[in-house]
Structure 1
């Protein structure tokens, strides 16, 4: 997310000081969200035997992670507001959505919503810091929100069994692995459609090619040949990354008068 914000800030022509503030705010917000998530999930990670996190291995104390998450959150507030009041509120809304996911919504049928809100608000955070505080075009917001929701479904797939064993029942868990893989692929496809069809001007060949390849993801995800493999997850995340590249390329249209 931090690299994405930096690239998008460059694509829309943010000044160097503005880009630095934008990246700093997003980095602080992401650190707070990540540390909050690890601290919140400590009990579940211990129950499922995960050993890939410092908290689980005992390499760091829970109190230290709690303090780090709160410190990063406090730093995020002035850094966000320094980019402008509207831009700052947009980013703080995104961070609040991510914290709401960690603390409550992760195990509900609305688990997708914080991802859609947080990703969808990121372009607004970047563009509202430009002179005149312009809102991003609808297609950019829609693509980012769809991409975020799709990333949520894909991100859950590798750990879906462990989540269910520890009582996490978000929307992907309710749908099941195969249907979640298909739905995540459809969301990423929707993001590609918005990026190809939304901006003015001629669609680059890369855009048409990405759209054609992305259309195959829901089919692949629903195939019985994939079973419990990581193929749907890897395919969805790879195309989500390609969507990000297209979003940045098409996002340069933000600098043009509308």
Structure 2
């Protein structure tokens, strides 16, 4: 999706590949380091989907992989331009801060909002004239990030509370977190529809209707099971849908 956003903003094919590689390396660094930090907690929670928790991957290998991804992320990000690289590395830094500290505080939503909100800036600041993205794109990104945080944590709330992790979703509880996630995701779609110049148009209303259907699916019985990953998968689908309709509308991204 980041690569597609780069293409829509006018990045060259090589620039789009560079955007995708930088984002991939940053996400791998964040994801792998998160598993290293959470290894003991995942073992106590009997997480069978975590290689470190079940012993099929050595912790030293995971540390090496996360470190290598982080080391690659720096030059790949800066190769997109100094300002663009600074925006992306700030987002990656926010993700690492979430892993290390902020996931256990009431500010757990902030790294997600910041990182997702800065992604459009990483794309547009790498263009020749280095424009800042429009307000509606950064706002929608931040709202999507906050929704992603809430839906990603839903299946782990009970294990998190048992381990002493008290981020915003754990403090709100599963029902309120799910409701807030739906509101944030719908708000992101509304901003993407009404924010660009020229009004929503028929395609925008179609996209908003489809987004509402996806968000409403979070109320399905299967999605409300404590261990369900469906809300997070719906978040990914909604993000892809929002980006697709944004590209189809041909709205200027800078």
Counterpart residue number, 2:105: 108
**Residues of 2 paired with 1:226 and 1:141: CA distance?**
28
Identify which of 50, 55, 58 aligns with 1:53. 50
Structure 2: state its 5+ residue gaps: none
The separation in 1 between residues aligned to 2:193 and 2:92, in whole angstroms, is 28
Of residues 158, 162, 165, the one that matches 1:165 is: 162
Following TM superposition, by how much is the alpha carbon of 1:240 offset from its aligned partner in structure 2, in angstroms? Answer: 3.6
Query: C-alpha separation between the residues in 2 aligned to 1:60 and 1:235?
Result: 29
Task: Confirm or deny: 8 A CA contact 1:182 1:218 kept in the other structure.
Answer: no
Q: Report matched runs for 1:1-258 at 5 Å.
A: 4-215=1-212, 228=225, 230=228, 232=231, 235-249=234-248, 252-254=251-253
Q: CA deviation at 1:248?
A: 4.1
Deviations 1:27-52 (A, max 9, x none): 11111111101111101110010111
Q: Give the direction of change, closer, same or farther, for the CA distance of 1:250–1:140 in structure 2 (3 Å limit).
A: farther
Verify the 8 A CA contact 2:204 2:249 in the aligned structure 1: no
Separation of aligned partners in 2, 1:96 and 1:226: 31
Instruction: Give SS of 1:199's match.
Output: coil
Q: 1-side partners of 2:25 and 2:244: how far apart?
A: 23
Could you give the per-residue CA deviations for residues 59-86 of structure 1, whole angstroms, max 9, x where no partner exists?
A: 2211111121112111111111111110
- RMSD of the alignment, in Å? 2.3
Provide Cα deviations, 1:223-248, integer angstroms capped at 9, x if missing partner.
99975364655555543432233344
Distance across 2 between alignment mates of 1:22 and 1:237: 19
Closer/same/farther in 2, CA of residues 250 and 40 from structure 1, 3 Å limit: farther
Report the CA distance shift for 1:227/1:26 in structure 2 as closer, same or farther (over 3 A): closer
Which residues of structure 1 form unaligned runs of 5+? Answer: none
Quote the Cα distance in structure 1 between the aligned partners of 2:236 and 2:29: 23
User: Equivalents in 2 of 1:6, 1:243: separation in Å?
Assistant: 15
User: Which is worse superposed, 237-246 or 217-226?
Assistant: 217-226
Q: Aligned in 2, Cα 1:95/1:235: closer, same or farther, shift over 3 Å?
A: closer
